[in-house]
Structure 1
Amino acid sequence: MKRGPLKSPVSKGSKRPKLHGDYDQYFSLNTTYYKNPITCERANEFNNGKRKKPIDFLNGYIATQGKSDDSKTIIHWFRGDLRTHDNTGLFEAIKQFRERKDNISGQLLTIFTINEHDWRAHMDSGWKLKFMMNAVSSLGEKLSKMSIPLHVLHYNPESPSLSNSNHFASWLKEECLNLAKGSGPVLLTANAQYETDELYRDIKMFEQSDSSFKFKVFHDACVIEPKLLTTGKGTQYTVFTPWYKKWAVEATSRMQNSKTFIRELSKDPVKDEEIDFKPLQYELPSEFLSYIPEGAPELPEASEDAAFQVLSDFSSQRAHAYDKKDYLPDEGSSHLSCYITSGLISARYIVSEAAKLTNGALAAKDIKKNSPVQEFIREVAWRDFYKHAFCNWPFLSMDLPYSFELNEMKWSDDQEAFKKWCEGETGVPIVDAIMRKLLCTGFISNRARMITASFLCKNLLLDYRWGERWFRKHLIDFDLASNVGGWGFCSSTGIDAQPYFRILNMELQSKKFDPEGRYIRKWVPELKDCKDVHTFNLERNGYQSAIVDYKKSRERALATYRQIL
């Protein structure tokens, strides 16, 4: 495997990636796992206080977790934190193990759990799963050099069951006790994940605590943990800009004053014994990989060292030109997203390294005058913002819009138009180029995501959730909070969304971000000899006409949104 971003495969004429063909999965929730989808009425109970938010349950448990001095076996549970560097839960597990006076008789272990039902329910991308499992292998090898074994545990129930079930919680507790081999009480540590299913999973694990088993969770995924940055009334911000200003102040203070902002582990082995690393005895089932095309680009190297190298290359080569990141042919983004999503590098470390390029200033006093590097830091802050929003409005990860009235939107039910969007066959060159690149590589830039999302929701007037599910199924860097947040923004249904009347002009977007048409001609080879690849409604030989008229589709979208808003 190689380091760095995915390189694009050579486009070969009319050759198309193999498609899975099952489009029904994008049109509604998977009722195998979500038999009773939450309603707006029930979701509003989170808002009016009638129903306690899962993050509040979790924080209640965290507030009461003390030191587990009597634990003979300490286990860290890796989830979305597949790294040893700046890993809060792992750091605390190792610290407690080393502080034990009788650690000769104790054990320090790590685990990673596989539940294919979670992947099916959450529609995790095959690209992402393949990258993640490569990361688990890399992690196991690195841990073995620290004399820490990694056990991969496969949850395989007789009937479909998610990890937020009582059955999973009792299974995992039993597995941990079995790994302890009777050597006293077990302490299991983990870092919090903020999706609703995952929060309820951890709550279930806390409920398993007894004299033989203790569970500890730490905030780690965000630079600033959720629930900390609030308005003067003590509520969660609904607008990014004032929240971001507070975020920058708090993050700067922590960087300057906290010795534990970045947690560095000693490279010395934790015990004087050698651990032989054994390759994983698990292969991803074909159902998760069948739609990845033959001849797809090699995945980036999934390791901590690779993540550090990608950050270093970006910092030294492209960070100061980050204001040009939206130029589609060059893709000047950091390409760190898949490493952040799988937890191979911490957001704190990225921010602290970027701050070295700005003399420690995470944001300008007037944020409109942010430097390119400060704009990059701002993009990292957006990730925190969406995770904070998930915690405060749990229904955002349950397929409901932020504004409940928009759940009554009269979206089009044109499934054929959706298929054409998915396959890059809309007759709009910039849209088709982006969607074909996604199918071939598993990655498109943020600007590309905004262009195609706007076209789906505003010009085709299709339910944003259809597109959100397609992205999660096909992106190597899929992160639920960021994906839902981005689609909510573009469709004007989410938190701090763009106004409903803002409808991107595909022709202008094409001319601005692919002015020479290089990106379009690469991914839509039918147009390689076409002089004008930008004009929306234009007959081109060998290429179909646009499936919608830009002006008419814009007017239809405005009229439909006005009926609700």
Structure 2
Amino acid sequence: MTQLLWLRSDLRTSDNTALAAAMACGPTVALYLVTPGQWLAHDDAPCKVDFWLRNLAELSTRLGALNVPLLIREVDDWQAVPDALLKVCREQGVQRLHYNDEYGVNEQRRDQAVTTHLEAAGISVRGHLDQLLFTPGSVQTQSGSYFKVFSQFRKACLAHLSVSLPACEPVPAAQAPLGITSDPIPTTVTGFPRPTDYLRALWPAGEAFAQRRLAAFVEDDLNEYHQRRDLPAEPGTSQLSAYLAAGVISIRQCLHAALGYNQGELDSGSTGVTTWINELLWREFYKHILVGYPRVSMYRAFRPETEALPWRRAPYELEAWQQGRTGFPIIDAAMRQMQETGWMHNRLRMVVAMFLSKNLLIDWREGERWFMRYLIDGDLAANNGGWQWSASTGTDSVPYFRLFNPISQSQRFDPDGQFLRRWLPELQHLSRRDVHNPSAHRSLFGVTEYPAPIVDLGASRARALEAFRNLPDAQA
């Protein structure tokens, strides 16, 4: 029976659950659907789409070595996907479709529509667990519900993993040639301009590179990860998020690499390792939240009472935040980093998100959308989870009365101002003390080209606290 592998966010041949299952069942053809209208609707960044295409080109070569042809078809959005898949199945004599599960509401509705359409035509459909360590719903509270608190979810996951670790699937053996020519991979897609050469060079494509980056991180940086991960001027993080989001590397490969370094220990041994495993489990947690509480992938707050927050409509302040012109160096440097590199340091994602949602009291959804439009690692679950955590509207979120002060955050995590000067050259001449708060020295040091702060931190903090206190369940 001919098998069709529908590739989505799983652009690799090693440890690809659906690929291994398809090739074990019979001769396999792979398919990737280009859906520019859907990508625009989901605010996918041009640099992310370019990254997908570059990884598809690398994947096509690897699939070719397995004699698996890669077909490319374009439809505008997911409404057209069931018919497009059925057409390919009929053209190739396919009797079974395989794909790796995805978890947003739109993704699940799309996959259900595909299953209904193909099974009505006599073609079987099989979804596979690949993005996650655990199937959503398999890690639950004692009352049988999805976890809402990360620490409890983490404890349950570690208990499961201590009993049984999910294995990594090897690259399948090559199949007999099928006599089908792979399609050329598009280099651009309408509506998504090509990123700069500088940005593209930061993110080389292909699973071979992703594996090298993982190995180098484990060897050189993992042991000190807990100490260096909050320092934006240092390369203390794995820089693997874009590869995980596109499925160029798997969560299982990351976990096994960490455990290999830590002599098999999940929750002891190297503090750097256990801290990084926690970050992998945060990623897992937010994807489970998508399934257990689907409203979060429909632009709704996890905590319904926070929908009553009096968000401000402040277009000037929103634009200043977007363009890195708030007058607070750590905010502006982080926003400029994202626009130029397609990535932002995780500590800074929290700082800029809290500044927008609390100091400016602008709806967190504005920030969530803006991030997706620029991040090469944009991922619905992680992005939404991070924004709602920072805005105190989400599951396990930071208490509403906790606000990161952007000046003290800058002083603490970039004490010498190295990161600030990298992205704000107009502040290069300031001392390590003054660079964090140039507004206090505007006339003395002549930093007139850098904007004054757009908000008073004390007054804006009081405004945010008042807004949250007035919610019905603010004290709960």
State the TM-score, normalized to the length of structure 1: 0.79
What's the C-alpha RMSD, in Å, of the aligned pairs?
1.7
Shift in Å at residue 272 of structure 1? 4.8
1:345 maps to which residue? 249
Matched, 1:271 2:180: no
| CA offset digits 1:118-141 (Å, max 9, x no partner) | 101100011111001111111111
Aligned to 2:404: 504
Query: 1:534 — aligned with what?
Result: 436
1:79 is aligned with what amino acid? R
409 and 462 in structure 1: CA distance in 2 versus 1, 3 angstrom threshold = same
Measure how far apart 1:370 and its partner are: 6.8
Instruction: Work out whether residues 126 and 288 of structure 1, in 8 Å CA contact, stay in contact via their aligned partners in 2.
Output: yes
Please point out which of 179, 185, 196 is paired with 1:280.
Answer: 185
Give the secondary structure class of the aligned counterpart of 2:436. coil
2:311 to 401, 407, 411: 411
Establish whether residue 253 from structure 1 lines up as the match of residue 163 from structure 2: yes
**For residue 219 of structure 1, what is the amino acid of its counterpart?**
L
- Quick one: distance in 1 between partners of 2:216 and 2:180? 33
Cα drift, residue 253 of structure 1: 2.1
Once residues 527 and 178 of structure 1 are traced to their aligned partners in structure 2, the CA distance between those partners, rounded to angstroms, is 61
The 3-state SS of whatever aligns with 2:470 is: helix
> Please, which of 433, 453, 464 is the counterpart of residue 557 of structure 1?
464
How far is the alpha carbon of 1:169 from its aligned partner? 1.2
Match for residue 194 of structure 1 among 103, 119, 125: 103
**Alpha-carbon distance between aligned partners in 1 of 2:267 and 2:155, rounded to the nearest angstrom:** 8
Q: 2:383 aligns with which of 445, 467, 483?
A: 483
CA distance in structure 2 between the partners assigned to 1:409 and 1:322 by the alignment: 37
Distance in 1 (alpha carbons) for counterparts of 2:159 and 2:425: 48
Q: Which moved more, 1:275-284 or 1:319-328?
A: 275-284
Match of 1:96 among 19, 22, 25: 25
SS of 1:504's equivalent? Answer: coil
- How far 1:279 sits from its partner (Å)? 3.5
Question: 2: CA distance between counterparts of 1:466 and 1:431?
Answer: 16
**1:85 paired residue among 14, 17, 27:** 14
Structure 1 residues 527, 334: closer, same or farther in 2, change over 3 A? same
* Structure 2 Cα separation of the partners of residues 470 and 331 of structure 1: 25
Once the two structures are superposed, residues 64-86 of structure 1 have per-residue CA deviations (whole angstroms, 9 ceiling, x without a partner) of: xxxxxxxx321110001111111
User: For the residues of structure 1 that align with 2:452 and 2:463, how far apart are their CA atoms?
Assistant: 19
Give the whole-Å Cα distance in 1 for the aligned partners of 2:395 and 2:238.
25
Alignment partners' CA distance in 2, 1:443 and 1:295: 13
TM-score calculated relative to the size of structure 2: 0.94
Aligned partners of 2:102 and 2:205: how far apart in 1?
Answer: 20
Distance in 2, matches of 1:507 and 1:339, equals 32
The alpha carbon displacement at 1:273 in A equals: 6.3
Q: Which residue of 2 aligns with 1:38?
A: none
| Separation of aligned partners in 2, 1:281 and 1:239 | 43
Q: Which amino acid aligns with 1:551?
A: G
What's the offset of the Cα at 1:545? 1.1
Q: Is the 8 A contact 1:135 1:344 kept in 2?
A: yes
The answer to whether the 8 Å contact 1:79/1:112 transfers is yes
Give the match for residue 170 of structure 1: 83
Alpha-carbon spacing, 1:274–1:172, altered in 2? closer, same or farther (3 Å): closer
Structure 2 residue 146 is the aligned partner of structure 1 residue 231 = no
Q: State the secondary structure of the residue aligned to 1:207.
A: helix
Counting only pairs closer than 5 Å after superposition, residues 294-313 of structure 1 correspond to structure 2 as 296=199, 298-313=201-216
The answer (yes or no) to whether the contact 1:74–1:188 under 8 Å persists in 2 is: yes
CA distance, structure 2, for counterparts of residue 491 and residue 272 of structure 1:
53
Unpaired segments ≥5 residues, structure 1: 1-71, 98-106, 157-161
CA distance in 2 between counterparts of 1:511 and 1:299 reads 27
Aligned counterpart for 1:361 among listed residues 265, 273, 288: 265
Displacement of 1:498 after TM fit?
Answer: 0.4
Q: What CA distance in whole angstroms lies between the structure 2 residues aligned with 1:398 and 1:144?
A: 39
Q: List alignment gaps of at least 5 residues for structure 2.
A: none
- Letter matched to residue 300 of structure 1: W
Tell me if 1:262 matches 2:164: no
- 1:216 CA displacement: 0.9
Matched position secondary structure for 1:556: helix
Structure 1 residues 387-406: aligned runs within 5 Å = 387-406=287-306
User: Size of the alignment, in residue pairs?
Assistant: 463
Identity of aligned residues (%): 32
Letter in 2 for 1:434: A
2:219 to 307, 312, 316: 316
CA contact (8 A) 2:5 2:19 kept: yes
> Matched residue of 2:352: which SS?
helix
Structure ranking higher in helix proportion: 2
For residues 200 and 378 of structure 1, the distance between their equivalents in structure 2, rounded to whole angstroms, comes to: 30
SS at match of 1:474: coil
Deviation of 1:429 after TM superposition, in Å, equals 0.9
Measure, in 2, the Cα distance between the counterparts of 1:425 and 1:293: 22
Alignment check: 8 A CA contact 2:71 2:183 kept: no
- Kindly indicate whether residue 290 of structure 2 is the aligned counterpart of residue 385 of structure 1: no
1:111-190 counterparts in 2 under 5 A?
A: 111-156=31-76, 162-163=77-78, 165=79, 167-180=80-93, 186-190=95-99
Equivalent residue letter for 2:372: R
Matched letter for residue 271 of structure 1: A
CA–CA distance in 2 between the matches of 1:370 and 1:501? Answer: 33
Q: Partners of 2:115 and 2:149 in 1: how far apart?
A: 33
The separation in 2 between residues aligned to 1:363 and 1:422, in whole angstroms, is 39
Q: Counterpart of 1:215 in 2: which secondary structure?
A: strand
Q: 1:464 to 1:272 in 2, by over 3 A?
A: closer
CA contact (8 A) 1:147 1:275 kept: no
Give me the whole-angstrom Cα distance separating, in 2, the residues matched to 1:401 and 1:536. Answer: 36
- Alpha-carbon distance, 1:220 to partner: 1.3
Q: Secondary structure at the match of 2:98?
A: strand
| Alignment-mate amino acid for residue 312 of structure 1 | A
Contact 2:66 2:175 (8 Å CA) reproduced: yes
Question: For 1:297 and 1:174, how far apart are their aligned partners in 2?
Answer: 35
Larger RCO, structures 1/2 (Cα 8 Å, 6+ apart): 1
CA displacement at 1:297 relative to structure 2: 5.3
Which residue identity does 2:170 align to in structure 1?
E
